[in-house]
Structure 1
Amino acid sequence: MDRVERAYLSHLLTLDTPVYGLAKVAGGYVLLDRDGLSAILDRVDGHAPWGRRDTLARLSRRLDLWQGRAQSDLRRLAIAKAPRIALGWLLRHLPNGLVYLNTGHSALSARVISAVRRRQGRVSVLLHDTIPLDFPQFQRAGTVERFHRMLKLAGNGADLLIYNSAATRAAVERHLTPMGRIPPGVVAHLGLDLSTPRAGDLPEGLPPAQPYFVALGTVEPRKNHALLLDIWQKMPRDGARLLICGARGWRNEETFATLDRMKAEGAAVEEWPGLTDGAVAALLEGARGLVFPSFAEGFGLPLIEAAALGCPIFCCDLPVTREVLGDIPVYLPMDDVYSWVQELENVAETPRAAPDYTPPTWQDHFKTVLKMT
């Protein structure tokens, strides 16, 4: 979602249309103009440093260091600030007939929708998936309830719903049907800001001398790393290595324990969290494949990136993957360890040909979306 929000911000700043940013911070809201948004984008992209925490950030126990610095800069760069109850007053700076774009499953509230309506504005909401409702067993405490409230609010209050795939649209409309209203919608596949492979970013030990496969993403239950560990317990120890590129997430203690045990026993499994995008791209370029047995995806950007870099893909057969990648991946059952072992052992010895794939572009995405908003 962070990449999608960044893409929206970057694109909107290229338009001649007046653009503003509404951000929720401790104590209320702030409003940024084009200059303020450009300054925030420079910080996100690493072209400018984040500032120090202000007094309000230091006093807030809910904010960690980086959240505090970000919110402090938002306040410093804002053209106006207001407590939550004065949001309508804050939006007086904006012209009537505005379009409010919410692209990150956050900060959408009845208060915001009401304030936009008072400016004769339209509300467009981008929905990435319905995973919290479809797989509640994989979620952190409170996530399901918050997502349900957000989706109901989007259904009741949005003028347009933007979907990253037809699969997401089908899932959202299935959940919205009993809630009472399904707004008009548009499907626009996400674009890809393809990272340039940078072998110089790789730490010592990467890439390994042996053939290797990459697992990309946070180690959380939905990504099904447990299946990968089952597979690698049956793979030869001197064979292909599994490089897990992602931080440890939540509700996955059993998988973490298995991972720790396998590493201690010398299994061909390595963890590499915190790699740069360029380092990950370099690994994908040289990998035998991306292994991605996820139970659910809204779009699956890692799959798209791997295909665009010429990396073979081994994944489960999800509707969105068929929609976006067609027959490019090798589809394997999410509960059949033997099939995975057999396929990956063969590929470790005889690499598959690089896929011929042209990824969707952000220009195409925005051409579809912005004519509808």
Structure 2
Amino acid sequence: MILADTRWSGVHGIGRYASEVLPRLSVEWSALEVGGRPSQPQDFLRVRRAPRGASIYSPGYNGFIARIPQVVTIHDLIHLHPTTPRRSVYAAHYATVLRPLVRRNRLVLTVSETSKRVIEEWVNDDRVRVVNAGNGLSAAFRIHGPSEAAGPYFLYVGNLRAHKNLDVVLKALAQTDDCRLVVVMNDRDGAIRRAAEFGVAERVDVRSGLTDDALAALYRGAVATVFPSLVEGFGLPAAESIACGTPVIFWEGCESIAEISRGQGVSIADAHDDLEWARALSATLADRPQASEFAAEYSWDKTADLVSTTLRER
């Protein structure tokens, strides 16, 4: 009996992954009946015992104190990155709860080859199998379809967390003429305040609550998608953008985005150099790359099949 933690389901990040993968699983499962938010550090205390013969699958990074088989999904180790608030709390949880759980079960799922390598180094146990089940893309993200046509603009899809490094793009925008930045973000007020701090509020258009079709149209109409992150486990907006035929401008040290772009993006040598970012924006604006077909390797069906096979073997 597989008990799946459905509490992660949502529209962004792990929530999107859970919402797409769980309904596609080809193994029989039931919802794990537990309350609270799975992202809370004390969540591991919520399940101390489970029915005999049961195992637990989580599409997120949470596990439980119960001594039963558990398969968790560690999308990345961003919680351990120096830019993460309350990093010491996460570090303690990962060291005392999550790593022992992964070692005990000798199996963990992840979403990219970059995350797989980082997790293998972190878990530091050759007995643990790290399985890259990948990520998927909605059918909306394809090269052919409607596109936004409201003047030249760059696109940013993300949030204001420190590791996303959006400030460098706002600084660069202030040095780049004749273009706008469209920001897709739930925190509309926060994005507007941040843009005002750098004197570009009148050139930043914040959108939220978009459907996949509307977001795909924004990707297709953009000169490029900017992805200034310092670290990512995968970077779904980068894959979505390239699938829509729009290149990504990114920091070359962010390995997962380099993995996704595979030569179809514009890399920046210094993540924090706003002058270099400004030059890249201007160059891309002056010589806009032609859209090219992208052989998408990312499929929710494929990911769910890999997860199902892993659970079945476990």
TM-score, with structure 1 as normaliser: 0.67
Q: Which has the larger radius of gyration?
A: 1
1:195 touches 1:277 (CA, 8 Å); kept in 2? yes
Say what the alpha-carbon RMSD is for the aligned residues: 3.1
- Aligned match for 1:364, one of 295, 302, 310: 302
Residue in structure 2 matched with residue 190 of structure 1 by the alignment: 135
2:51 is the alignment partner of 1:139: no
Taking a change above 3 Å as real, the CA distance of residues 149 and 281 of structure 1, as seen in their structure-2 partners, is farther
Taking a change above 3 Å as real, the CA distance of residues 84 and 187 of structure 1, as seen in their structure-2 partners, is closer
1:292 touches 1:315 (CA, 8 Å); kept in 2? yes
2:280 is the alignment partner of 1:325: no
Please, which runs of 5 or more residues in structure 1 have no aligned partner? 30-82
Runs of 4+ in 1 over 6 A off after TM superposition: none
2:15 is the alignment partner of 1:5: no
How far is 1:187 from its partner?
A: 2.0
Residue in structure 2 matched with residue 33 of structure 1 by the alignment: none
How far is 1:303 from its partner?
A: 0.5
Taking a change above 3 Å as real, the CA distance of residues 362 and 330 of structure 1, as seen in their structure-2 partners, is same
Identity %: 23
Taking a change above 3 Å as real, the CA distance of residues 274 and 19 of structure 1, as seen in their structure-2 partners, is same
Q: How many pairs align?
A: 284
How far is 1:149 from its partner?
A: 4.1
- Residue 190 of structure 1 aligns to a residue whose secondary structure is coil
Residue in structure 2 matched with residue 68 of structure 1 by the alignment: none
For residues 231 and 85 of structure 1, the distance between their equivalents in structure 2, rounded to whole angstroms, comes to 48
For residues 47 and 305 of structure 2, the distance between their equivalents in structure 1, rounded to whole angstroms, comes to 36
Alpha-carbon deviations, 1:28-64, whole Å to 9, x = none? 99xxxxxxxxxxxxxxxxxxxxxxxxxxxxxxxxxxx
How far is 1:124 from its partner?
A: 1.8
Residue in structure 1 matched with residue 283 of structure 2 by the alignment: 346
How far is 1:320 from its partner?
A: 1.7
Mapping of 1:150-165 within 5 angstroms?
A: 150-165=97-112
- Residue 150 of structure 2 aligns to a residue whose secondary structure is coil
TM-score, with structure 2 as normaliser: 0.79
Taking a change above 3 Å as real, the CA distance of residues 166 and 327 of structure 1, as seen in their structure-2 partners, is same
Mapping of 1:99-178 within 5 angstroms?
A: 99-106=55-62, 108-111=63-66, 114=67, 117=68, 122-133=69-80, 135-140=81-86, 142-177=89-124
Q: Select the structure that is richer in helix.
A: 1
1:136 touches 1:144 (CA, 8 Å); kept in 2? no
How far is 1:312 from its partner?
A: 1.6
For residues 188 and 355 of structure 1, the distance between their equivalents in structure 2, rounded to whole angstroms, comes to 26
- Residue 110 of structure 1 aligns to a residue whose secondary structure is coil
The code of the aligned residue for 1:2 comes to: G
1:125 touches 1:154 (CA, 8 Å); kept in 2? no
Residue in structure 2 matched with residue 298 of structure 1 by the alignment: 233
Please, which runs of 5 or more residues in structure 2 have no aligned partner? 1-13, 39-44
- Residue 299 of structure 1 aligns to a residue whose secondary structure is coil
The code of the aligned residue for 1:104 comes to: G
Range with greater deviation from structure 2 (330-339 or 2-11): 330-339
- Residue 354 of structure 1 aligns to a residue whose secondary structure is coil
